[in-house]
Structure 1
Amino acid sequence: MKLLYGVIGCGMMGQEHLRNIALLPDADVIAIFEPDATMRQRAAAIAPQAVFVASIPELLQINAINCLLIASPNHVHLDQLEEVASIRPLPVLVEKPLFTSMDELPRLEALRSRYPAPIWVAMEYRYMPPVARLISEAEEATGGIRMLTIREHRFPFLQKVGNWNRFNDQTGGTLVEKCCHFFDLMRHILKSDPIRITASGGQAVNHLDELHDGRRSDVWDHAYVLVDFDSGARAMLELCMFAEGARYQEEISAIGPRGKIECKVPGPGRFWPQHLGAPPIAQVIISPRDPKGPRKLEIPVDPLLLEAGDHNGSTFYQHQRFQRAVAGQAPVEVTLDDGLWAAFMGQTAQEAAASNRVIEVPPIRQAERITA
């Protein structure tokens, strides 16, 4: 089945999607809705075959479109999903996060109950080759994960159109905007739901003196988050967004009675200093307890995929799987439930840190019961 995409939003992440869709067989972007003139110009250079339209209804009037990509700013994702649902509910891949405020949960519940087509939430980190390798081997390497640690040491938030990513009310907060990926990974790797969340975080270094339309940036730049899961496993997130000098951007470790497995993922190659030579290659390290002796595997990624985006090839692999789901050849792998849980955990962690509390979460397995 050939995917003919209509795209809603073509900023920095939307353009990464365009470059990766162009690498797929049997896929084309045929129409784009992007309100910003500069972003339209950049998107047109990547997808010259696409027509540009002035609204979502106009986009949905193009009969040839058989799927959608939503890559707009966080705070309009739900509005746009509802608009699509009311006009022409096509299969959609929507960027994270699904929502930016707990007040939106009932609307998401209503959307899920009536949307007849597949919705795939873009959680690219699952599909980074070193992370995917860790996930596939974690059970065997650990004998059952009891501790999971995710560390991201990276560069500050990049500049986006209208500076929407400088404010908690438009992003959902850093622990939603940036870290919903990691909360999704926690649930996915541990195959369990959270029962208790606490956190500490804030704004220490980045954007402190930035004013935008008279508003001072309030988005956080560092945090620790602790999560207990109903399986008995524990997970920790360590985020620092003023550590762009690090060799690896993400490091994940999973530990159990049999041993430890970890992966190390470099950041975007375009940010690697040229005078240091070639960028680092991703690694997976397996360290059994007996017999002792770590085993290190390099996990190279196709240079063409590295050139197409900042997420270690994962955007391409995600679209491959989305293509199969739209064709009815495979299930949706990142469901609305997954996207809802990831944003919910981020919101809860943000609240726990802001209020200096430990927040209990009912040990539930059905995401719709979050609203109960």
Structure 2
Amino acid sequence: MGKQVNYGMIGCGMMGQEHLRNILLLPDSRIAAIYEPDPDMCAAAARIAPDAILADSLADLLASPLDCIVISSPNIAHVGQLEQIAQGSPVPVLVEKPLFTHPADRARIERLIRTYRAPIWVAMEYRYMPPITRFLERLDPATGGLKMLTIREHRFPFLHKVGAWNRFNRSSGGTLVEKCCHFFDLMRLAVRSEPVRVMASAGQAVNHLDEAYGGETPDIWDNAYVIVDFANGARAMLELCMFAEGARYQEEITAVGPSGRIEALVPGPGRFWPVHMGAPPVPQLIESPRAPKGPVATEIPVDPALLEAGDHNGATFYQHRKFRQAMQDGHAVEVTVQDGMKAVLMGLAAQESAASGKAVDLDFSTEAEEYRICS
């Protein structure tokens, strides 16, 4: 047996509980302490990790002996909680996406990482879905060098969260930050270049229009097209629809290059699949060479135990296993603070483009100007 790793959990709503279940699948793992201010969510977390100390505050959690911390609180809380952790002895942190929600938060994050002496891993689960991992591995052989990337997500509306924080731009960062930073991260990872221009069209067409919280109607968008130009000449597009849960596959990711095309087809959470239709679909990888023509489809099944532990096709488990390796063996953090920051800035630029009706230039080379609107 290895050394036991004691985890502290900040936030145990739906995603936090998925983290709990997957951490407990790892050997020698213990949930030592939980801070979750909502009584119902705290009780649900305690049922998953009955031996954990239930802290009354973040300060109380930080007073516990911890080997690492997972932050899965509402988006708007991430930066302040990281800053509070940094005031004490640094421990490795896995912080959920998005890393922050407002352009002004970038400076706070950059100040923090200049002095924080432990790994910080930004949770980007989509990288670690088995069909997407295989897609990335086969990308160059299948395409001969990516030139165009398309990501389509047709899915269910935003689920209910504590305090309805995900219904409003001010607390979520907006759909293109809250939901889509995953996809902007995948774009950078697949293209292996930096974005230089973002053009977006988005809005709220169907979802949440009949809801009210404190007398306010939600303003979160439910559909979008986003086009991204990259410095190496490649292009990527995101198509998002959040009133399309009838789709067989939730994500369809396609890359094309001079030699051919490759697709990853990823189903949504199995718990949403209609029982009367039998077993949920299995993820697929399809390679379509230009010559000789002939698509080849391969199923990429996911361990049923991992499907049971969460909604992300096993990705949360594989992410935690790599985070554990980074902590214990000195492996490099795979999703850095810089990766998380750039994905958020792409989302913020897309929000700005859709709101203004103009393209937005991006430049990550300087701190002074994250993006500017093209006239």
Q: TM range, normalised to the smaller chain?
A: over 0.9
* Partner SS, residue 210 of structure 2: coil
Alignment of 1:126-145 (within 5 A): 126-145=127-146
Rounded Cα–Cα distance in structure 2 between residues aligned with 1:27 and 1:329? 18
2:235 corresponds to: 234
Deviation at residue 214 of structure 1 after TM alignment: 1.3
1:340 corresponds to: 341
Deviation at residue 4 of structure 1 after TM alignment: 1.0
1:190 corresponds to: 191
Alignment of 1:156-305 (within 5 A): 156-305=157-306
Distance 1:367 1:320, change over 3 A: farther
Q: Any gaps of 5 or more consecutive residues in structure 1?
A: none
Q: Does 1:10 find its partner at 2:27? A: no
Distance 1:297 1:369, change over 3 A: farther
Counterpart AA for 1:60: L
* Partner SS, residue 207 of structure 2: coil
Rounded Cα–Cα distance in structure 2 between residues aligned with 1:211 and 1:51? 36
Rounded Cα–Cα distance in structure 2 between residues aligned with 1:3 and 1:82? 23
Q: Does 1:20 find its partner at 2:22? A: yes
1:43 corresponds to: 45
Query: 8 Å contact 1:60–1:88 — kept in the other structure?
Result: no
Rounded Cα–Cα distance in structure 2 between residues aligned with 1:25 and 1:245? 37
* Partner SS, residue 87 of structure 1: coil
C-alpha root-mean-square deviation of aligned residues, in Å? 1.2
Query: 8 Å contact 1:57–1:87 — kept in the other structure?
Result: no
Rounded Cα–Cα distance in structure 2 between residues aligned with 1:289 and 1:367? 41
Deviation at residue 210 of structure 1 after TM alignment: 1.1
Query: 8 Å contact 2:200–2:227 — kept in the other structure?
Result: yes
Distance 1:370 1:136, change over 3 A: farther
Rounded Cα–Cα distance in structure 2 between residues aligned with 1:84 and 1:328? 22
* TM-score, normalising length: structure 2: 0.97
* Partner SS, residue 360 of structure 2: strand
Count of residues paired in the alignment? 369
Q: Does 1:311 find its partner at 2:312? A: yes
Moved more, 124-133 or 80-89: 80-89
Query: 8 Å contact 2:154–2:247 — kept in the other structure?
Result: yes
Rounded Cα–Cα distance in structure 1 between residues aligned with 2:9 and 2:331? 23
Query: 8 Å contact 2:353–2:359 — kept in the other structure?
Result: yes
* TM-score, normalising length: structure 1: 0.97
Q: Does 1:360 find its partner at 2:361? A: yes
Rounded Cα–Cα distance in structure 1 between residues aligned with 2:263 and 2:4? 37
> What whole-Å deviation, never above 9, does each CA across 1:112-150 have from its counterpart, x for those lacking one?
111111000000000000000000010111010000000
1:112 corresponds to: 113
1:331 corresponds to: 332
Rounded Cα–Cα distance in structure 2 between residues aligned with 1:368 and 1:55? 34
Query: 8 Å contact 1:340–1:367 — kept in the other structure?
Result: no
Rounded Cα–Cα distance in structure 1 between residues aligned with 2:346 and 2:362? 9
Counterpart AA for 2:157: P
4+ runs deviating over 2 angstroms: 366-372
> What whole-Å deviation, never above 9, does each CA across 1:3-22 have from its counterpart, x for those lacking one?
21000000000000001011
Deviation at residue 328 of structure 1 after TM alignment: 3.2
Rounded Cα–Cα distance in structure 2 between residues aligned with 1:265 and 1:228? 25
> What whole-Å deviation, never above 9, does each CA across 1:241-279 have from its counterpart, x for those lacking one?
000000000000000000000000000000000000000
Identity of aligned residues (%): 62
Query: 8 Å contact 1:109–1:368 — kept in the other structure?
Result: no
Counterpart AA for 1:326: M
Rounded Cα–Cα distance in structure 1 between residues aligned with 2:369 and 2:189? 18
Q: Any gaps of 5 or more consecutive residues in structure 2?
A: none
Distance 1:368 1:311, change over 3 A: farther
Rounded Cα–Cα distance in structure 2 between residues aligned with 1:300 and 1:209? 39
